[in-house]
């Protein structure tokens, strides 16, 4: 498979959408699909689909389309789903607990190894089968286990400190839900921040634009 090291961020961020859509198609029994039909189901053009996939190699056949299971497998390989990545959660408050209980880590190629907190009420317990450890043992745990990603749901005041500890301990990536802009000076660590407010404000903008159009047709 051809791999293009200069794939744009926009294309990379569409890949999980393709994987999710193909998974849904597979579950409903769809065997093959054209780029036009796939694009229509995702709100994209057939040309965009073909251009995105061409960044990674040749997929499908002209006049036949894509085999859903094969394309899903190929995209899953590109996304690294089969590599057996591991993850730990720092912070088991409302958000951390909800993520542990509801997010399907295994379906996305991650094994959730443990959670960490400072609250004596939860330390030593289990959340959805995941053991909760004291954060004092964070570095020892990472040294004893291969931990690829640290998921942060700690309070904003503790975000940078905990992020630094994760980076110094050797994680490869941080999934940051703290709404705090972490400073990451380590080129060997990938940082992905999730800002709920950004998504909500984007929705607010789109609603406002539609309202303006309706008021001023």
Under 8 Å CB-to-CB from 49, ≥6 apart: which residues? Answer: 35, 38, 39, 42
Cβ atoms of 147 and 111 closer than 8 Å: no
What the chain holds in terms of domains, given with CATH numbers, is 9-78 (1.10.10.10), 84-197 (3.40.50.720)
- Across the range 14-41, mean pLDDT stands at 92
Report whether pLDDT(61) > 70: no
pTM reported for the whole predicted model = 0.84
pLDDT digits (tens, 9 = 90+) for 175-199: 999 999 999 988 999 999 999 888 8
Quick check: 60 and 71 in contact, CB under 8 A?
Answer: yes
What stretches of the chain show up as alpha helix (H) in DSSP?
A: 9-27, 35-42, 46-54, 68-79, 94-102, 138-144, 156-169, 196-215
Q: How many angstroms separate the Cα of 4 from the Cα of each of 49, 130, 148, 189?
A: 16, 38, 24, 21
- Which residues, other chains included, contact 48 with Cβ-Cβ below 8 Å and sequence gap of 6+? 39
125, pLDDT greater than 60: yes
Q: How many CB atoms lie within 10 A of CB 145?
A: 11
Specify the pLDDT at position 21. Answer: 94
Mean pLDDT of the chain: 91
């Amino acid at each position: 498979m051809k791999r293009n090291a200069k794939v744009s961020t926009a294309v990379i961020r569409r890949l999980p959408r393709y994987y999710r859509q193909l998974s849904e198609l597979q579950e409903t029994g769809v065997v093959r699909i054209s780029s036009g039909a796939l694009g229509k189901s995702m709100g994209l053009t057939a040309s965009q689909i073909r251009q995105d996939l061409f960044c990674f190699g040749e997929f499908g056949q002209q006049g036949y389309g894509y085999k859903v299971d094969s394309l899903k497998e190929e995209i899953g390989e590109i996304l690294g789903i089969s590599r057996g990545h591991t993850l730990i959660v720092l912070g088991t408050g409302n958000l951390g607990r909800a993520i542990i209980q509801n997010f399907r880590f295994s379906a996305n190629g991650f094994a959730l190894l443990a959670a960490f907190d400072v609250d004596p009420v939860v330390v030593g317990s289990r959340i959805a089968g995941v053991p909760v450890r004291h954060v004092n043992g964070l570095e020892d745990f990472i040294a004893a286990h291969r931990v690829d990603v640290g998921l942060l749901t700690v309070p904003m005041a503790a975000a940078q400190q905990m992020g630094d500890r994760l980076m110094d301990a050797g994680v490869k990536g941080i999934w940051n839900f703290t709404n705090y802009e972490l400073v990451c000076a380590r080129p060997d660590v990938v940082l992905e921040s999730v800002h709920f407010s950004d998504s909500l404000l984007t929705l607010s903008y789109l609603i406002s634009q539609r309202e303006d159009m309706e008021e001023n047709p």
